[in-house]
Amino acid sequence: MNTRERGSKFRQYYPSLTEYYLTAGHCPHDEIPTEVNQLISDWMKSL
């Protein structure tokens, strides 16, 4: 699956979509928890 291409299609319908491409495998929350937690925290603060 080409995630960047797929993201482009999503942006057609959701122009305010924010994407982050992380260097991790199937479980980024286990592999790079600090980065994932920071992204989630930032998102929650923006609500």
- Nearest to residue 6, comparing CAs of 23, 19, 16, 24? 19
Predicted local confidence at residue 26, as pLDDT = 92
Q: What is the pTM of this model?
A: 0.75
* Residue-level pLDDT at 7: 85
pLDDT in tens, 8-40: 899 999 999 899 999 999 999 999 999 999 999
Instruction: Work out how many domains the chain is built from and give that number.
Output: 1
The domain of 33 spans: 3-46
Question: Which tokens is 9 given?
Answer: 């299609």
Q: Which positions ≥6 away from 32 have C-beta within 8 Å?
A: 22, 23, 24
Q: What pLDDT, on a 0 to 100 scale, did the predictor assign at position 3? A: 83
